[in-house]
A and B are shown apart, each in its own frame.
Chain A
Amino acid sequence: MSLEFRKLTIYGFGKWVDYTIDFAHNRLLCIYGENESGKSTLQEFILFILFGLPPKQRKFYRPKTSSQMGGSLTIFDANIGEVTIVRLDHVDNGRARCHTRNGKQYDERWLQKQLKGIDRRTYQSIFSFSAQDLVQITNMKEEDLGEALLGIGLSGSKHLYEIEKMLDTKIGELFKPYGKKPVMNEQIDVLNDLFTTLSTAKKEESHYRHKREKMIQLTDHIEQIQHQLRKKKEKVLFVQKQLQALPDVYAYRSYRKQLQQLPEDISFPEQGSERFQLLKDKLLPLRSELSVLQTNEQAYKKKKAKIKATLKQVTNRKEAHEILRKKQAYEELYNRVQERKQQLAKRYVQIDTELDELNLGLTRDDLAHVTFPFHLEKTWNELKNELERLALEYNHLQHEQQSLIRNKKHLEDTYEEVTNRRLSPEQTKKLRRMIEQYEQQSLLGRLQATANEKQVQWANKKKQSVRKHNRLFIFSAIGGFAFWIVSHWLHSSLAFNIAILITIVGGLQWLWGRKMIRNMDEIITASPVESSVSPEWLREIEEAERLLTIDRNMMNEQSSMAEQLKSIDVQLLQAEEKERAWKQKNSRLQQQMNEYHDDYPFLQSVEVKYWPELYHVLNGLKKTYRDIETYEKELKHLEEKQRSYEKVVNTFVKEGDKDAKRPIPLQLEKIEAFVTEWEQLEEQVRQYDSLLLENQRYQQKIEQNIHTYEEEMNQLFQMVGVSTEDEFYKRKRQLEKRKQLRSECRAILNRFSRLFTSEQWQQLVEQTPKENELELEQRHYEKEIKRMENELDDYRQRKANLKADVAKLESSETYSQLMHQFQMEKDTFNQTAKEWAILKTAKEMLVETKRLYRDKYLQRVIEMTTKYFNILTDGAYVQVHPPSEKKPFLVTAHNDLQYTIHELSQGTIDQLYISLRMAVSEVMSAENRLPFIIDDGFINFDHIRMKRIIEIVTEVSDHQQVILFTCKKEIVKHIHPAKVLNLHESFEPAYGE
């Protein structure tokens, strides 16, 4: 079956517009044209009609001179007959419409079916080739050459190889069995990692169960230990309590024991001991008193006996008493003797001393002879007084005379002086006149002063009376007003009348007062007096008065002094008289004195004036002398008496004492001492007697009291059932002890009742443990507790850890997440795997198909190729070998030498290629031959070869239409002119219908 082109009509396509080619049943048509004559466009048009063009390319071929783009191609197929394919750019989007002769219309699909799926590319690769293909081949890489040739020849698609490569690449990108980089290999790694992680997580989660179980186990353990621990702690506590209680337990025990030892029943009176004590307190002083009394009694008696014994020994008590009785007299005697002796001695001394002092040559014996009559003293005194009076008189006289003389002289001097100082008579006169004038003037002044004084007094008086009148008037006004108000208030007419009266009286009084004062003013102010004494003048007057007074005084003085001088002269005469009288008296006295000198010679050496005193002295001495004489006599008598007493005393003393030579007073003292002693002893005896008596009375009384108290005590003892105080107190102590013990026991019990049950306490008391035992026990328990606590801590820690683990596991979403992630990754992987499978399938299918395809057609293609190649090379090459493995095409020359394609010349390669293409075309189109289009495929052929190829082409055209485009005249020459279409000659076909 073969398809051939019958007619080609171009409405517009590229440069071709309204152009028609009638193939005129030619199996071979050579279309000649120079370059740019439109050959390629024609080829393009044919392809366009058969396979269509995308809009862009259609646009490209839209003619510039025609609105229409497209055309038709009439084809003939033995099965379907003649069909015209019309394809227009603007109709049905450039799709083909086919018309059969019998008027049936078909669409593009139908066309494609008729073309048996051959598409543009397949067509091009199988049924057409051009010089360009050859160029491409030479440009191909050596190693690709064989494959490419085969590819072109076999698949009809030059993309096959590319597709395979592309698929391979994609497959390789997805997966390589031993790769690392490809997507799926990476995914595998990811999955592996995930799987590992997941397994770990799963494993971890699978520990959950174990951990839970372990936790429960631990909880049990912990509870168990806690329980034990509690028990142990209780025990320790009990031990500690015991330890703490131990001292008290011991105490308790001891108290109980003591209590057991005490009698169960102890009767004791109420407040017995106090009562007993009270009695005892009372009794005790009594007893001690009694004992003291008894002791005293004994002592008294002993002492009394002793004294009595002593007194019995004394015999001369009477004599002693006698002596002592006289002792007083003796003492007096003795004193008198002594006194007299002293007086005598004193007198002796006195007389001697006085005599010496007198120094008159008198002795004691002289005194015994001298006598002094009683008048002597008076006589001497008168003598003396006379003498003195005379002397005094004399002095007085002298003195009187002298003072008179002195006075007289003085007076005379003074008189003279006064006379000189006196005023002259003129002066006196003048002064007197001045004074008289003045005295007149001063009288006037005094009158004036009196008048002024009166005026001043009136002014004061007036002021007072005005004030008084005013005051009265105001009072009367106020009073009137007050009464007026009162009258209004009380509605009293009496008050109103009083008000009027008071007002009127006040007013009258005031008017009268004012008039009075005015009259008085007139009187008093009407007596002004003139007075004018100047101060200078006043001073002169005063001076004058003073001078006059002085002068008067001096005059009086002079007259008195004259008087005095007269009297002094009288007095002087009297004095002379007195002197003479004195001288007489004096001579008389001197006579008398001489007389006494004769009687008492010693007086000669003594002045008269001392005689009275001497008299007294001598008289005293004389008296003293007489006293001495009396005393001597008396003394003699007294001493005699004294000696007789002393004799008695000495005798007494000699009797009793050997030492009798002691002075009498001492002896007397001794006697006195004896006597006193005896008296004292006797007194003592008496005292003891009375003491004893008293003592006995007292004792009796005390004993009575004691007895009473003892009775009471005995009663107490009876009550207690004892007989002694000791026992009594013992009982009391027992009672107290019991009380104390019981209270202690109670206290202890109270203290521990909270800590121990009564059983525990009972046991503790009955079987009191040792302290060290308890401590040991405590230590043991504490150790146990510590161990258990440690254990507990450990368990707890473990449990906490487990709990945390479990919680972590429970809250952990890791596994869940991983699982999902893993699943998704797996899904992703599977999806990729599918993609891979698709690619892989595609590729494998491609390869497989290629292989099959090759196997199916290769042999025939090679046979045909060999045939054509042989013809073309004129038998130079006898065999063509297809490429295999890595080897390219091989050809065998007529000399059996084999050449690879690379070893051939370009011309030979072209020949081989054309042979191959023609073979492929022939083989492949065995069932469905489409016209073969060759576009200047033989450019490089020389003449001979050209001829040969034309021959081949012609041969081919026997069973397949061939359309040969060429620009070479040479080719045209080899072809029958009827089968040549010259594009340059005319647009019209060169041959008719």
Chain B
Amino acid sequence: MRKEISFIHAADLHLDTPFKGLANIPEQIFDDIRKSTFRALDRLVSVAIQKRVDFVLIVGDLFDHENQSLQAQIHLREAFEKLKRHHISVYMSYGNHDHLNGNIFPMTYPENVHVFPDETVRQFNYEKNGHPLATIYGFSYENASVQQNKVAEYDVKDEHVPFHIATLHGSLATNTDHDTYAPFQLSELTKEPFDYWALGHIHEREVLKKDPFVVYPGNTQGRHRKECGEKGCYYVTMTEASTDVSFIPTQAIEFKSLTVDLSTCSHIHQLERLLTHTLQEEMKPNLPQLIHVTFHGENEQAIAWQENHFVEDLIEFINESFLHQKNWLYIYDYTVDIQSASTAFPFFEGDYFTGELTKMFQKASIQPYVKELFQHRQARKYLLPLSEEEEQKVKKEAYQRLLYHLLKE
């Protein structure tokens, strides 16, 4: 018998976790957005069935305790049941977001699902036709974080089993962009003869290393502006000689960032044409997209448009025209980042008011100004503190707007 296995490697499903940064979403796409993580899971299941894989690995963060819904659990269970009907096993572990102790809806999954039960690295044997074909190693987070390096605990148990696959929900010790859990060094992973390191936790897919493969599959569905582009899982086929991995997108909605140059637009209608055209080009045949637009370039009127809500109205108008398609497009946010001779920042110096204003903006912090809201007893519950970047953005915007009004005829 040829020793060969195929599986799907996925992680960070974050089922039913709400998207971030979407405001005032129209009703008709609300459900599409809400269900996108489910649809991504459905697609993953479909892929597994279609590819007739042996098993599916899901390396943590299937859902978020922070926003854990029963729906997520039910959907997950249904997906597993579907896989079961096609005799596909599932090996899953819990990560920092869905750690064992925080689960408020413990489910009984069908018997094709094998869950790593605790924080100790354990293994399951995958058997095909009565022969053990693969051993899958892994652990689940018992609590919201695992700080120690777990790699040392991974030992290949039975060398007669052809394939050894390690699952690990954690991050490279060097990666400080995210919360670092179960940190590891890439070099450590090759110490034991594993054939595949199936990682999870980082939402951006990355093949850290080949031979053996060390792979972050990323999350299955982008959920905010930064998780743009295709999202999905890896389809892995393994023989004793070689390992092939291929990425298969699963996202139901894609996040996208567009940049539109306003330099050539002297009139708002021109902008409308430009934007519509750009969006039409961006449309994908079978995927709804949530789009962030950055307007840049040199345009004197841009601020006036912005200040007079022309841009806002225009986007609303365009959105409406793109929403009524099955694979809709929706501009959920935009940034105006334009150069203006009159409002270049910082420009004014000297004794005069605007100069004073500029000096003021250069040195002042906005915190005292905004604390009225951000420390408001009611409001603060729902507000995220402004980051440095956001503060700067606010400041810049405020300055531009003030100048616009001050210099307005």
Contacts and interface: CB of A to CB of B under 8 A. Distances in A.
Interface stretch (B165-173, B214-222, B245-253, B371-379): B371-379
A118 interface: yes
Contacts of A813: 71
A816 B34 contact: yes
A816 B72 contact: yes
Nearest to B406: A157
A191 B357 contact: no
Nearest to A176: B372
Interface string A825-859: 11111111110111111111110111011001100
B401 A842 contact: yes
Interface in A705-724: none
Contact of B401 (A209, A816, A838, A850): A838
Interface in A534-562: none
B357 A849 contact: yes
A841 B383 contact: no
B383 A833 contact: yes
A838 B402 CA distance: 10
Interface string A150-176: 000011110110010010000000010
Interface in B1-59: 16, 18-25, 30, 33-34
A810 interface: yes
B105 A834 contact: no
B366 A837 contact: yes
Contacts of B379: 175, 184, 188, 829, 833
A154 B353 contact: yes
B70 A205 contact: yes
Nearest to B103: A209
B383 A830 contact: yes
A815 interface: yes
A927 B18 contact: no
A54 B300 CA distance: 13
Interface in B172-220: none
A154 B354 CA distance: 11
Contacts of A841: 366, 369-370, 394-395, 398
A713 B227 CA distance: 124
B406 A820 contact: no
A840 B20 CA distance: 24
Contacts of A824: 18-19, 22-25, 30
B356 A820 contact: no
Given A191-B382, A837-B370, A852-B356, A820 B30 contact: yes
B281 interface: no
Contacts of A826: 382
A160 B353 contact: yes
A255 interface: no
Contacts of B394: 834, 837-838, 841
B348 interface: yes
A168 B31 CA distance: 38
Nearest to B23: A828
Contacts of B395: 841
Interface in B278-310: none
Contacts of A822: 18
Contacts of B72: 816
Nearest to B360: A849
Interface residues of A, number: 73
A827 B390 CA distance: 14
Given A177-B372, A841-B370, A928 B18 contact: no
Interface centre among A116, A156, A816, A857 (most CB of B within 10 A): A816
B130 interface: no
Given A191-B382, A845-B360, A156 B398 contact: no
Given A117-B347, A208-B70, A820-B33, A837 B361 contact: no
Contact of A829 (B70, B348, B382): B382
B382 A119 contact: no
Contact of A819 (B18, B22, B354): B18
A823 interface: yes
Given A809-B70, A820-B33, A839 B398 contact: yes
Interface in A102-153: 109, 116-119, 121-122
B113 to A, nearest CB: 17
Give the bracket for the number of chain B residues in contact with chain A: 35 or more
A118 B349 CA distance: 10
Contact of A844 (B33, B70, B105, B369): B369
Given A820-B19, A837-B386, A842-B401, A156 B373 contact: no
Contacts of B381: 191, 195
A335 B267 CA distance: 191
Given A117-B355, A820-B33, A836-B373, A842 B382 contact: no
Given A188-B382, A819-B69, A827 B21 contact: yes
Contact of B106 (A184, A209, A828): A209
B405 interface: yes
A469 to B, nearest CB: 126
A122 B352 contact: yes
A808 to B, nearest CB: 10
Interface in B68-123: 69-72, 74, 104-106
Query: Chain B CB within 10 Å — which of A160, A828, A837 has the most?
Result: A837
Contacts of A195: 381
A200 interface: no
B313 interface: no
Contacts of B74: 810-811
B152 interface: no
Contacts of B353: 122, 154-157, 160, 849-850, 853
Contact of B405 (A156, A166, A209, A837): A166
B125 to A, nearest CB: 30
B351 interface: yes
A116 B350 contact: yes
A55 B397 CA distance: 29
Contacts of B364: 845, 848
A487 B72 CA distance: 127
A844 B22 CA distance: 28
B374 A833 contact: yes
A831 B69 CA distance: 25
B92 to A, nearest CB: 19
10 contacts: A159-B408, A160-B353, A188-B379, A205-B70, A823-B20, A823-B67, A829-B383, A837-B398, A840-B369, A845-B399
Q: Which 3 A-B pairs have the closest CB atoms?
A: A823-B18, A828-B23, A841-B398
Given A166-B405, A849-B360, A850-B353, 6 more contacts: A205-B104, A830-B383, A834-B393, A836-B373, A837-B366, A844-B369
